Amino acid sequence: MSRKTGIVKDERYLRHDAGFGHPESPQRLGATYTMLETPDMAGHFVEIEPRYATHEEIGMIHSLSYINLVASTAGKIFVPLDPDTAATPESYDVAKLAVGGLFNAIDSVVSGEVDNAFALVRPPGHHAGVSNAAGFCLFNNVAIGAMHAISKHKMERILIVDWDLHHGNGTQAQFYEDPRVLYFSTHQYPYYPGTGAIEEIGRGKGIGYNVNVPLRPGTDNAQYVKIFRKIICPVSMKFKPDLVLISAGFDPYYKDPLGGMKVTPKGFACLARMLMDIADQCCGGKVVATLEGGYHISGLAESIKATLIEMKDGTHVTDDELDRIANEADSNTDPVIKKVIDQINPYWRLL
């Protein structure tokens, strides 16, 4: 049985220009949107119209002074906001549309209009802090999306899984003391932005609700699947989320120019399937992904395609296959898996 999978896509997302030669280029989504028009993809997904998020909504995460700063860039040729992040004339509008696109994806899943959804938006979000842009990100889409689910839909437990190559420092900081949001990240380490050590597990009421798996370059499909099987799956089943949000960065792709990981499109489909299985058992399959990084243009489109087909049940990686893939993993990640479990075990009793 296939699932109804929604997608947020809009040509306006191509209007944010991060600057000449910047890896976070409009071509990223351009190639993805072209892929969605191919005969095997066209017409198979429910298109969800985006909307502009309001200042009040963005203010659930960001300071008003920062929102006003981004707003002040509208119509200006080039405004640097961070060493590698800039706004151009339409960036502010596009960033509001990225947040609102994710809102509408969440609303469509909650209402049952679709079973799951992928917001194919830009600019990305997970590095943006309360009062700052960072790492190509203007507003923290996934963090604001989590607050939208909590405030509008009265959800009590949100799982955010961030498989981007880079640690989502903005998202982590936002929910570091908040037990309503379980933040889980796999990322290349040490690498930009320098956060995401194993010891960063939350603080106060949020202790244990922040799980980092820092990885060396070269981590492949089998190792990622093993990490998810050993850590995120059991923790999530104890957390029992009302909604699963994915910060879906495709820069762990094996040819990505900014990373050193070895994940293939099939690998991303496996990660999506494991999160779908968690959602099926905990929250009626409610999964919403939002695009973060991924800078190999054709690899990004291929990886998103594999993920979307898996989300739609066009393919279905079975439990047995996931176990087989995990068992093929070499022992390189075993020490980090053990260290992570040792850190969080007092809070989740995994052992």
Tens of each residue's pLDDT in the chain, 351 residues: 699 999 999 999 999 999 999 999 999 999 999 999 999 999 999 999 999 999 999 999 999 999 999 999 999 999 999 999 999 999 999 999 999 999 999 999 999 999 999 999 999 999 999 999 999 999 999 999 999 999 999 999 999 999 999 999 999 999 999 999 999 999 999 999 999 999 999 999 999 999 999 999 999 999 999 999 999 999 999 999 999 999 999 999 999 999 999 999 999 999 999 999 999 999 999 999 999 999 999 999 999 999 999 999 999 999 999 999 999 999 999 999 999 999 999 999 876
Q: Which of 122, 119, 112, 171 is nearest to 146 (CA)?
A: 171
Q: What's residue 274's pLDDT?
A: 98
CA 65 to the chain's CA centroid: 26
Cis amide prior to 193 (ω within 30 degrees): yes
- Residues belonging to the active site: 127
Q: Domain count of the chain?
A: 1
Is pTM beyond 0.95? Reply is yes
Q: What's residue 350's pLDDT?
A: 77
Q: What's residue 1's pLDDT?
A: 62
Helical H segments across the chain, by residue range: 27-36, 55-58, 64-71, 91-111, 141-153, 169-174, 221-227, 233-239, 265-282, 297-311, 319-327, 334-348
Other Cβ atoms within 10 Å of 298 Cβ, number: 11
Residues 85, 79: Cα–Cα separation, whole Å: 9
Q: What is the CATH number of the domain that holds 223?
A: 3.40.800.20
Residues 233, 84: Cα–Cα separation, whole Å: 34
For residue 321, give its domain range.
5-348
Contacts of 5 (CB under 8 A, 6+ apart): 45, 46, 114, 115, 116, 117, 118, 308, 311, 312
Q: What's residue 351's pLDDT?
A: 62
Residues 287, 309: Cα–Cα separation, whole Å: 14
